């Protein structure tokens, strides 16, 4: 089953990346360097339009193969690019996946990442038929841990040496969502 190209909660829209997103993506990445640098493996100081374009070129194949589904996070009111999120590391055999998210610095602490994570969790479980969604967050990344907690993900424990960013190795907190965690009435 293929996920929809676009989903919304009427505050944000998650939609498939397009080449027209390249300038907005580069602007947001450059704006957010201090927040991305410690936690995101693909971030580098000179992130360019060619980097963004090259990455976006890989997305249709991953989508078609069912290995990952990446979305741009867009403000539904003004169309502004807010960040990115996705479902990845999908195991169709075991029916679980990971979700990830990031929000540009000027729009953090507004509930955007939580909205995106909740939309992705519901998409993964309710539409793709997965039975588990994992959110794996470096121990020191408190902002992303708060997002996982806000969406009702259960903290399961610490995974040693789980995340590698450049030459740094981090322990990670494992959070999970299962169908019972996503009751629409509770969110």
- Examine the pLDDT at 80 and tell me if it is beyond 80: yes
Q: Is the CATH number of domain 6-186 3.30.70.940?
A: no
- Spatial CA neighbour of 19 closest among 46, 47, 59: 59
Question: For residue 129, what is the DSSP state?
Answer: -
Q: What is the pLDDT of residues 57-77, one digit of tens each?
A: 999 999 999 999 999 999 999
DSSP state of 169: E
- Position 187 scores a pLDDT of 44
Neighbours of 120 (CB within 10 A): 27
For residue 40, pLDDT over 90 is answered with no
Predicted confidence (pLDDT) per residue in 135-161, tens digit: 999 999 999 999 999 999 999 999 999
Which H helix or E strand runs over 113?
Answer: helix 112-122
Q: Which residues contact 187 (CB under 8 A, 6 or more apart)?
A: 118, 151, 152
**pLDDT confidence of residue 130:** 97
What CA–CA distance (Å, rounded) separates 42 from 77? 29
The predicted pLDDT at position 132 comes to 98
């Amino acid at each position: 089953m293929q996920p929809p190209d676009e989903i919304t909660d009427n505050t944000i829209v998650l939609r498939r990346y397009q080449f027209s997103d390249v300038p907005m993506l580069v602007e947001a990445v450059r704006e957010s360097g201090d927040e991305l640098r410690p936690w995101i493996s693909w971030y580098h100081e000179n992130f360019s339009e060619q980097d963004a374009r090259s990455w976006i070129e890989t997305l249709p194949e991953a989508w078609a193969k069912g290995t990952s589904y990446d979305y741009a996070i867009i403000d539904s009111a003004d169309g502004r690019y807010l960040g990115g999120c996705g479902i990845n590391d999908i195991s169709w055999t075991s029916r679980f996946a990971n979700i990830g998210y990031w929000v540009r610095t000027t729009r953090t602490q507004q509930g955007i990442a939580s909205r995106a994570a909740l939309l992705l969790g519901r998409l993964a479980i309710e539409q793709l038929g997965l039975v588990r969604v994992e959110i794996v967050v470096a121990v020191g990344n408190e902002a992303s841990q708060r997002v996982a907690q806000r969406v009702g993900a259960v903290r399961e424990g610490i995974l040693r040496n789980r995340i590698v960013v450049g030459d740094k190795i981090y322990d990670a907190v494992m959070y999970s969502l299962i169908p019972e965690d996503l009751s629409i009435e509770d969110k």
